[in-house]
Amino acid sequence: MSHQKSFQYADLLSVLERVVDIMSAPDQYSYPSVFIYGHRATGKSHVVLSIMKDLELPHASVDCVECVSSGLLFHQVLSAFFGPDAAALLPRCPSLSDFVRLYKQMSSNSPATQTRYIILDRAERMRDMDFSLLPALLRLQELVNDNVTVILLSEIVWEKFRPNTGCFEPLLFHFPDYSKGKSLVQILSWDHHPSYTPELYASYINILLGVFFSVCRDLRELRHLAVLNFSKFCEPLEKGEAKESDIHKLWKNIEPHLQRAMQTVYLREVSSVQWEQQQMDEKEATTLRVLSAHAHIELPYYSKFLLIAAYLASFNPARTDRRFFLKSHGKIRKTNFLKKHEKTSNHLLGPKPFPLDRLMAIFYSVVDSRVAPTASVFSQISSLVTLQLLSQVGHDDQLDSPKYKCSVSLDFILAISRCVCVCVRLLDLLALSLVIQSQVVRQERSLFTAVSNLHLL
Amino acid sequence: MFNAAEMSEIPLTSSVSKGCFVFKSASKKRKRHVGVEVLPSLHQLNKKVLDSLAEFIKKHGLGCSSDNWRQRARETPTAALMLGVNVPDHAMTFRSLCNLLQDSVTPFVVSVHAKECAAVKLLIQKVLEQLMGRGVSVDEEQEDDTALLQRTQCTISALCQWYKTVTKSLPVVVIFKDFEAFNSQVLQDFILICSRYTQELPFIFIFGIATSPSAIQHRLPHSVSSLLCIEVFHSLSRTQHLASVFDKLILNSQFPFKLSSRVIQVLVGIFLYHDFSVQNFVKGLQFSMLEHFKSQPLSMLCCQKQEALLSAKTLSKKNVERIRHLPSFMRYVETQEPQEQVQLLTNDEHVKVTLLFHNKLHVSCIEKNLWETEEYDSALQLLRILAKDELVAALRKCAEILKSTKILQNVLQQLEDFIGRLEALEGVSSEDSSGNGIISGKMEYQRTDLFQLQKTLLEKESRRTKRMNPYEVLRSQVIEFIDSLVREYLTPAELQPLNEVCYYSSSGVLRQRLNVTPRTSIQAALSHPFYYLQNESLKTDAGTISSAAPDLCIVYKLHLECGRLINLYDWLEAFLTVMSAAEDQDTNSEECGKYDSLKHARFIQAVSEMEFLGFIKSTKQKTDHVARLTWGGC
């Protein structure tokens, strides 16, 4: 879709014209199915629904997320076209043929004077439903012999929908992204504040986009952010410190604020209500406690050790256990101590599954005191699994030899071991096993920053 | 004595929280109320958090219509309630939260559990059931509608229709009890669906989170979490929670039953090392109480003072004899004058009188809250570095306690004198030696993290080589005084006469019962069958395999000698050898070495029992082999 990036507002208008074209002759049979795609908040459903409303066309609008079964979809369509009584005639678990039969029966009683539209929002969910549903809906017109058009709305391209067996090809429309220069500013400027001039609001929007456009193109989100931060923008004006023409001064005032918003309220680390409140009592300099600031988890003492042991088991090759956890391990020559593939991997490859007894063996060697194998030690493992700090792998042999994976990050483990490590030995152990991985970790970190940079671009 | 049948009459689970304990004494057949200071229902402790949550919901329930712009952004107000890692403990909190919300905010409260919501459909069904079912049951006129509702589709739009008929415009609160356990896809879909209806149906979510708030970001992508307006609420941390339970139950003079320091160590150890569960702690307390009343016949004296006095007067001869045999009482007798000793040992009445006296002394001792003698040193060191105002406050507190007890008046006098002198120092510029805000109360139970802090503080103290100012001189005097005071009056509880009446001290039993080791007991049963069966013929030396033992034990002992894979044939051979060794002794055994189908069958049964117990399993790596699932040999 990269070639479509330079789409302008005019392109959107042309798309609209074509869409309206299809719908402008309601008394004739229309094209059986239309597929409209575009990113979030590019106005797909809004456009389609407002056309329906303005032209007063008969339509059934269904959100596929809600349709946990295809029966619900049929029910909604029938009740929209023929009233709830018709929908009530559907059997308990309606099949596609039930739907078609009932539709035919109903439409013969009340034949369509104009095209009926079935609008399926978030159509990508249809792929998870019955495999015959999508191909059947695409040629529903044929099946029910009625003037009906199915409009599919999705964020994904059509190629990802096409079933293996092939199907009727719908008419494709693409709603392009809003470009920064014109359309976004224009649209966002529509909801300007009545007590300020539209020009001021437009310049505010420009500043806002300058900060947020690189990370977010969702119109809905941008509007939300614009409303949230506007009062702060106007603060100097209200105090009389600046005039509407002092754009530079206003920019200086708002820019750091917006940067902060990007790190907190945009990521929902701070709720919008809290953000507003903070703006109100800014003078008191309240520091908001963000969500990720409470990453610390209080765990029972042995649970911490279990988690550390699980981490070591997950990221160290089993061959090296002998070296790390046995006091009198045999001499291993350094040169070929690790195989080549082991040197490169571990953190990049992610956690590996390990059996329960390996976990317990490492646990006993890591814990400084003698621990009885009590029931509560074992129940801690299962509670770590429910907390999703460990995850259980495989389902075939759960009773005899369950396997686990450690699903927490290195930073988390380091934080935990810092509060647990009274004994130096464990620190050594961690350090030792991490030395091998440190190089990998460094690589991984740089990769992460690279990826996040890419994301920002 | 209490027999088993009577023990079963004791309300096991609700005992502490319900109030009085009812015991039937077998000899006297009368009910005895052991006044137990009630466990203040735990939700009192979480009251603050719950109230702020209710406030949050009220605010959003009312404010949602006025804030026009938030409607546009379709944000659903969400409270992230941090409850700590022990999930079973949360049940009580959620129950009281539900009640609180239903009483004060909105009748529409739904709480869902991850187990019952494996798919969105089930989750929606659960929500609908709880909401609409409840609405109907409140209003009986709508009874006919229920049939209709059951036939309607299980969707949120159906809920919307229903909500319009109710028209109370109160928020609908959905509580996700265990957020971590929910399938993230289910959660995402549910939030997406609900956000479509925010205009008509004011939803408010409460996530019960056990780990940390970042769990929300791990489970939900930005497109979904941007539909939420999340605020975080913290409940009391587990250790704080435990401390308050301690204050209310153990450091309480109203509560005659006491635990010895060893028992407390066991209970606190289970809490800190294993589960962080306050509920389990309270259960442990209940259990030790039961054990105490069951195993110690003199525990009948462990009740409120009035009743104790009454029952002490009417002690039976047998029980008086028991008192004489108490080690602590014997120690006490030894310290008395000779003729007093004779009297104590012969005259029942005299024993009773002394008993009354001691009971008083005992209570006074307990009232001062000093029971953890090993913590005393560290607390004293802490006092030594307290800043002045804190010291005065601490002394004031002591004075308060002493005033209320009406004993040790001279001590009180001295204390007040010290306080006066400290205040007189006001003019003298006394710099705050180390401004650290630890209010040690007096001897409250110190937790490990506090120990760390103390260590660093002590290091700081030792490094300082300043000259002492007047305040410091006075402070050291005060500390000396307190030290001498404590040494005089607060001897360890174990040394007090008659401590056995009130103190439960068998920590071994408690550990055995509460911190069970199933594997150890299975291994003990298999390797030492005598331990459980108590059959003389099973007594063996360590390391040998007796043929008299059950087949399973023989097979188990033999398998300990094997590696990870066990050859079944070799195993059978070894088994037969052991069996025939026994026969060799009594008969000359002509059929030795021959396969006896009976023995074969016995072997197979024992092996399958081993598999059932989880020691071995069949393997595909090698034919005729089984894999061992435990490690370690004999």
User: Concatenated DSSP letters for A52-64?
Assistant: HHHHT--EEEEET
**Banded model confidence at residue A118, pLDDT cuts 50, 70, 90:** very high
B327 half-sphere exposure, CB direction, 13 A CA radius: 3
**Partner B, chain A 71-110, Cβ-Cβ below 8 Å:** 72, 75
Query: What Å distances lie between residue B83 and A265, A302, A367, A391, B184, CA to CA?
Result: 24, 19, 27, 21, 20
Using CA coordinates, name the residue in chain A closest to B76: A271
Cite the beta strand spans of A83-209 per DSSP E. 116-121, 148-154, 171-175
- Residue-wise pLDDT tens digits, B207-224: 998 888 888 888 888 888
**Across-strand partners of B567?**
B625
d(CA A230, CA B174): 33
Least confident of A154-158, A177-181, A253-257, B481-485: B481-485
Chain B residue with minimum CA distance to A376:
B274
Q: What is the pLDDT of residue A154?
A: 92
Long-range CB contacts (within 8 A, 24+) of B344-350: B348/B315, B348/B317, B348/B320
Q: Which tokens sit at A196?
A: 């300020």
Burial (CB count <10 Å: 0-12, 13-18, 19+), residue B330? middle
Who among B156, B178, B210 is closest to A66 (CB)? B156
Q: Is A373 an 8 Å CB contact of chain B?
A: yes
Of the ranges A74-83, A417-426, B188-197, B429-438, which one carries the lowest mean pLDDT score? B429-438
| C-beta neighbour count of A24 within 10 angstroms | 12
- Report the run of H or E that residue B598 belongs to, with start and end: helix B597-613
Nearest in space to B94 (alpha carbons), one of B198, B183, B12, B207: B207
Q: Distance, in angstroms, between B510 CA and closest chain A CA?
A: 14
- Residue A181 pairs with which residues in a beta bridge? none
Q: Nearest-CA neighbor of A150 among A219, A230, A61, A275?
A: A61
Q: Where do runs of H (alpha helix) occur along A264-338?
A: 272-280, 301-315, 321-325
The answer to whether the CB of A22 falls within 8 A of the CB of A147 is no
| pLDDT at residue B466 greater than cutoff 50 | no
Q: Annotate A146-177 with DSSP letters as a single string.
A: SSEEEEEEESS-GGGT--TT--PPPEEEEEPP
- Residue percentage of chain A with pLDDT more than 70: 79
- Is the separation of the CB atoms in B353 and B340 below 8 Å? no
Best A360, A374, A416 residue to mutate vs chain B (most B CBs within 10 Å):
A374
Choosing among B76, B205, B232, B453, which should be mutated to test the A contact, i.e. which has the most A CBs within 10 A?
Answer: B232
Compare CB distances from A65 to B189, B273, B275 and report the shortest one's residue.
Answer: B189
Min Cα distance A454 → chain B (Å) is 18
* pLDDT higher than 60, residue B24: no
Closest partner CB to A400 (pick from B216, B519, B617) = B617
pLDDT of residue B457: 47
B276-280, long-range: CB within 8 Å, 24+ apart, which pairs? B276/A298, B276/A299, B276/A300, B276/B84, B276/B85, B276/B86, B276/B89, B276/B238, B277/B86, B277/B88, B277/B89, B278/B42, B278/B86, B278/B89, B278/B238, B278/B241, B278/B242, B278/B245, B279/B42, B279/B86, B279/B88, B279/B89, B279/B92, B280/B514
The half-sphere exposure of A98 on its side-chain side, counting CA atoms within 13 A, is 17
Mutate to test the interface with A, among B161, B273, B620 (most CBs of A within 10 A): B273
Phi and psi, residue B230, nearest 5°: -90, 135
Q: Which residues of A touch B517 (CB under 8 A)?
A: 372-375
Q: Quick one: pLDDT at residue A1?
A: 34
Kindly tell me the sign of the dihedral angle through the C-alpha atoms of B134, B137, B139, B145. positive
DSSP B366: H
DSSP bridge pairs for A391: A405
Rounded CA-CA distance B208/B187 in Å is 13
Q: Which residues contact B547 (CB under 8 A, 6 or more apart)?
A: B554, B578, B579, B581, B582
Q: Considering only CA atoms, which of B34, B139, B467, B270 is closest in space to residue A372?
A: B270
Is A401 in contact with B614 (Cβ distance < 8 A)?
no
B-proximal residues of A, 207-246, CB under 8 Å: 220-221, 223-224, 227
Rounded CA separation A96/A100 (Å): 6
Closest chain A C-alpha to B538 CA, distance in angstroms? 27
d(CA B12, CA B195): 46
Q: Lowest-pLDDT range, A238-242, A281-285, B144-148, B498-502?
A: B144-148
pLDDT of residue A151: 92
Sign of the torsion formed by the C-alpha atoms of B268, B272, B273 and B274: positive
The answer to whether residue A119 scores a pLDDT higher than 90 is yes
**Mean pLDDT, rounded, for B181-187:** 91
Sheet hosting strand A403-406, strand order edge to edge: A354-355, A403-406, A390-393
Interface subset of A 377-416, CB within 8 angstroms of B: 377, 379-380, 383, 386-389, 399-401
Cα dihedral B343→B346→B347→B348 (10° resolution): 130
The answer to whether the beta carbons of residues B211 and A387 sit under 8 Å apart is: yes
- B406 residue type, one letter: K
The H-or-E segment that residue A366 falls in is helix A356-366
Of B108, B53, B106, nearest in space to B83 by CA:
B53
- Is A271 an 8 Å CB contact of chain B? yes
Question: What CA–CA distance (Å, rounded) separates B118 from B130?
Answer: 17
State yes or no: ipTM above 0.95.
no
With beta carbons less than 8 A apart as the criterion, state whether A312 and A366 touch: yes
* pLDDT score recorded for residue B152: 57
The region of weakest confidence among A378-382, B169-173, B302-306 is B302-306
* Contact between chains at A372 and B520 (C-beta distance less than 8 A): yes
Distance from CA of B198 to the nearest CA of A (A): 14
State both tokens at A358: 């390996």
Cβ–Cβ gap B211/A292 under 8 Å? no
Q: Mutate which of B231, B274, B613, B631 to disrupt the A interface (most A C-beta within 10 Å)?
A: B274
CA nearest to A291 within chain B: B213
The pLDDT value given to residue A120: 93
B488, burial (CB in 10 Å: exposed 0-12, middle 13-18, buried 19+): exposed
- Summarised one tens digit per residue, pLDDT across range A63-78 is 998 888 888 889 889 9
Q: How confident is the model at residue B479 (pLDDT cuts 50, 70, 90)?
A: low
- Name B361's Cβ contacts closer than 8 Å, sequence gap at least 6: B496
Would an 8 Å CB–CB cutoff place A172 in contact with chain B?
Answer: no
> If residue B346 lies in a helix (H) or strand (E), which one and from where to where?
helix B338-346
Over chain B, what is the mean pLDDT? 68
Strand, coil or helix: A117:
strand
Closest Cα in chain A, distance from residue B325 (Å): 36
Residue A215 phi/psi, 5-degree rounding, is -105, -20
| pLDDT at residue A12 in the model | 67
pLDDT attached to residue B437? 31
Tokens read off for B154 = 């299980």
pLDDT 10s digits, B348-396? 555 555 554 444 444 434 433 333 333 444 455 555 555 555 556 666 6
Q: What is the pLDDT of residues B222-256, one digit of tens each?
A: 888 888 888 888 887 777 777 777 777 766 656 66
Q: Which among A100, A115, A172 has a CA at the least distance from the CA of A148?
A: A115
**Least reliable range by pLDDT among A404-413, B363-372, B579-588:** B363-372
Of A143, A150, A168, A172, the closest CA to residue A77 belongs to: A150
Is a pLDDT exceeding 80 seen at residue B341?
no
Across the interface, of A75, A220, A272, the residue whose CB is closest to B70 is A272
Taking the CA of residue B508 and the nearest CA in chain A, the distance in Å comes to 14
- The answer, yes or no, to whether residue A304 has pLDDT greater than 80, is yes
Give the three-state DSSP class for B229.
strand
Q: Among candidates A365, A377, A370, which has minimal Cα distance to A429?
A: A365
Q: Please report the DSSP string for B385-408 in residue order.
A: T--HHHHHHHHHHHHHHHHHHT--
A448 to chain B, closest Cα gap in Å: 17
Closest B-chain CA to A273: B229
